[in-house]
Amino acid sequence: MGIVERYSTDHIAFPYLGIDFNISPTAFTLFGLEIKWYGICIAIGLFLAMHYCFKRTKDFGLDGEALSDAVIAGIIGAVIGARAYYVIFHAEDYHDIKEIFAIRDGGLAVYGGLIGALILGCIVCRIKKIHILSAVDLASMGFFIGQACGRWGNFFNQECFGLNTTLPWGISGGRIQNFIISNRASFAAQGFEMDPYTAVHPCFLYESLLCICGFLLVHFFYKHRKFDGEMICIYVTIYGFGRFIIEGLRTDSLYIGNIRVSQALSLLICIAGIVIIILGHIRAKKKGVSLYADSETAKELLRKADERDKAYEESKKNKKAKELAKDQKIIDDEEE
């Protein structure tokens, strides 16, 4: 039994909190072009991420001017990757080439965006001779900011929601109700039922909060990192773990058979991140230094650590040789 009425298309409500209002996905029209809240949220997230990251370039030993080319490439790669990932898993919904490029209406997949951004960004880093792992570490901090803001675009589009809930922050809306009504058969095939007139989990909000917490963690931790690549590993571990849980609540997941693609990918990258972090810390502890390229004396300390290790190994060999020589002398004396 539902607890909310049938809403108009642009109506959004938090019924348990007594909050409801009407808001269109279109923020305003400029020269006949509809500017969507979805795009505005992404643009704000991108601006804040770039502003933060460029202020931290020196902390990561990077040249901000040279890095700007990689950032531009990363943005282009993110858009292409995010759209391609989404379209590939929703191919049956696209019958016109124009629809594929209609990104203002939504339909961008986070993992596709990350993959695209990393691929093109790293290519440009290689061309510009920018230290790739340092750049990726810095970018991972921006990813948290961008996603925390960008997810609110899903709020205006009434997407990225989950199963029915009676939690106080449950959300409902006209588009949410229409989506549930239109997809009841597919929900049943996946083994669950949805009531269009009961509030649902606001998964976009959960992911936004996850990214805010992740950003705060890496913001205060980055000066204590032990090796290049640790920040991106922390990012994939935190985001992968959180997304694995959140994805289990969603009703609009991308599937391969009965497997939620993003949930499976989240679990894999989370495990990979944990393993690499552990191995990196073991190596750094063994060397006795932080192994990140931008540390003021990291390279020199690492070189000295290697020399120390070699000297130690050499001394062990010499000591063993002396002991063998001493033993041989004793044997020779006894024979005499």
What does pLDDT average to in each consecutive run of 10 residues of the chain (336 residues)?
80 94 92 89 94 90 86 92 82 72 70 92 92 92 95 93 95 95 87 92 97 96 88 96 94 80 93 95 76 52 59 71 61 55
Nearest to 162 by CA among 132, 189, 192: 192
Strand duo 11-14 + 33-36: pairing: unpaired
Nearest to 134 by CA among 195, 182, 67: 67
261-286: b (≥16 Cβ within 10 Å) or e: bbbebbeebbeebbebbeebeeebee
Q: Which amino acid is at 51?
A: H
- Return all residues near 68 (Cβ < 8 A) that are at least 6 apart: 54
Give yes or no for a contact between 175 and 157, defined as CB atoms under 8 angstroms apart. Answer: yes
C-alpha distance across the termini of the chain, in Å: 105
How far apart are alpha carbons 13 and 204 in whole angstroms? 15
CA dihedral 117, 120, 125, 126 (to 10 degrees): 140
Query: Residue 111 is encoded by which pair of tokens?
Result: 């993992």
Helix residue spans in the chain (DSSP H): 37-55, 64-89, 97-100, 110-127, 132-150, 152-157, 174-182, 184-189, 203-221, 230-247, 261-287, 298-335
pLDDT for 298 equals: 47
pLDDT for 198 equals: 94
How far apart are alpha carbons 224 and 245 in whole angstroms? 28
* CA 228 vs CA 75, 88, 315: distances in Å: 22, 33, 31
pLDDT for 83 equals: 85
Give yes or no for a contact between 306 and 288, defined as CB atoms under 8 angstroms apart. Answer: no
Give yes or no for a contact between 17 and 3, defined as CB atoms under 8 angstroms apart. Answer: no
Taking phi first (over 0 means left), then psi (-120 to 50 degrees means alpha), and beta for anything else, what does residue 257 get? left
- Return all residues near 13 (Cβ < 8 A) that are at least 6 apart: 4, 7, 19, 20, 21, 171, 172, 173, 199
